[in-house]
Amino acid sequence: MAIELVIMPVHGMGDTRADFAGKLRKEVGRRLAPAQRDQVHWQPVFYQGVLQPHQRNMMQRMKTQADIDWIRLRRFLLSGFSDAATMESKPQLPNSVYRQVQAIILQALDDAWAAAGGRAVPVIVIAQSLGGQVISNYLWDAQARAPRAGVFQRDRADSIGGRSAHDRFRRFKSLQFLFTTGCNIPIFVAGLDADQIRPVAVAQRGWNFRWENFYDPDDVLGWPLRPINAAYRRAVSADHAINSGGGLGSWLTSWSPMSHTAYWRDDDFLDPLEVAIKGIVPTR
């Protein structure tokens, strides 16, 4: 059966396994009819492979060559917050981590394009935590006429012609929904005057998608986005305040910062995601 939808999960900060989206895929698959599942192609974006080996080596050097305590907390802070710092460092350079991460997203889109038989099928992106900033950066550069960083700079050697259907797909012009969970974009822009902050385009110049943001008020790493400024209020369709990880026996997760890791297994997020998928791939 032909592929009619691409679902692209993007992980967040910290130590991450390559199969990070496995449980999400299983849960979504349980909610779909067999014919619907056959029309959905899952294309996870695993960018942590660029960062993780260096972070683990750094942690090992610290443990063996220095006297430090609180190892688990230090490992969390090192692997989590160095992700953001490293990706934002000198993004304009050809070999920057910023550009390497975008190359992974570009390759994922190329793989999805091939899986769909070279057709611009609809795409749903599900970005957790730092993944929201990662996708926002990619979209920003894809939408720029002369990007100063990332894979769409003019020095990129590529056989894919500009303005081709494939190029438009690479630039997410088939994106239908952007779901962000536990998003921390406000942390990256808080030092700017509100008038200087601009979101990506959601309904202009060939882009037309809905941006749905989910956050838990107890999650200190997850934020609403519409309060950033008037431009974000126009760009983000809704900020959904949910009790991430809620349910019988899970009070410690849902009523604490641990809720940051629980969005993808919460019905308050999964139910709207299911509706979005079924709206694109209806039961036949």
- The residues near 186 (Cβ < 8 Å, ≥ 6 apart) are 223, 225, 228
DSSP 92: T
pLDDT tens digits, one per residue of 47-59: 987 777 767 777 7
Q: What is the CATH number of the domain that holds 27?
A: 3.40.50.1820
- The residues near 76 (Cβ < 8 Å, ≥ 6 apart) are 14
Our count of domains for the chain comes to 1
Q: How large is the average pLDDT for residues 203-213?
A: 97
Is the entire prediction scored with pTM above 0.75? yes
pLDDT tens digits, one per residue of 174-185: 999 999 999 999
pLDDT at 233 over 70: yes
pLDDT at 38 over 90: yes
For residue 160, the enclosing domain spans 5-280
Q: What percent of the chain has pLDDT over 90?
A: 68
Cα separation, 85 vs 233, in Å, equals 27
Cα separation, 128 vs 193, in Å, equals 26
Residue among 145, 133, 86 at smallest CA distance from 228: 133
- The DSSP-derived string for 132-180 is HHHHHHHHHHHH-SS-SSSTTSTT---SSPTTSHHHHHHTTTTEEEEEE
Mean pLDDT of the residues in the chain: 89
